[in-house]
Amino acid sequence: MSDSEKHKSRKSSHGQTFNEFMTTMDRLFAEKPLKGILQSMDDFFGSIERSFPVEISEKDTYYHIKAALPGIKREQIDIEMLSQGVVISVKNYVQAVKFTANKAPKRRPSPNTVSRTINLAKPIDEQRATANHRDGVLEIKIPKLKGKRITIND
């Protein structure tokens, strides 16, 4: 066997080894448990992109939250009050396009819910919270609960 034949043989075995390695890796990442983990990671990081901007300001007696929601109707917004925070969820129906062979593309609504959880530093009065939605801006005013001060004895 000449040197060039040995080189070609070695080169093809490296290529074959690499192909086997890639096939094994493809199978590894196609397994259901790992695929589920990777999908969860995609969903987590994808939700960050799809989130909406929120501005939070704290006053002496209340929190003021503004969320920019252009093109969103009041009926699409859900606000859930927590003991020390608020969750804003928006249901937005996006047009999904499905392409099929030899046919015109089909459009169908695809539900897409985006939510944002806002944690607040102090307990809030959930019962007196108010919300307004006007011109694509959601405003929430949440009163703070007053704590009881105690005196320190000698």
Assess if residue 149 is contained within a domain: no
Whole-number Å distance between alpha carbons of 148 and 154: 19
Whole-number Å distance between alpha carbons of 37 and 33: 6
pLDDT at 43: 58
> How confident is the model over 98-139, as pLDDT tens digits?
666 666 666 555 567 888 999 999 999 999 999 999 999 999
Give residue 72's domain range: 53-143
**Highest mean pLDDT, choosing among 4-8, 41-45, 68-72:** 68-72
pLDDT at 41: 62
Runs of H (alpha helix) within 31-62: 32-49
Whole-number Å distance between alpha carbons of 112 and 93: 6
Assess if residue 150 is contained within a domain: no
CATH number of the structural domain spanning residue 91: 2.60.40.790
| Residues 69 and 130 placed together within one structural domain of the fold | yes
Average pLDDT, the chain: 78
Q: Could you give the number of structural domains in the chain?
A: 2
Assess if residue 66 is contained within a domain: yes
The band of 2, judged by pLDDT with boundaries at 50, 70 and 90, is: low
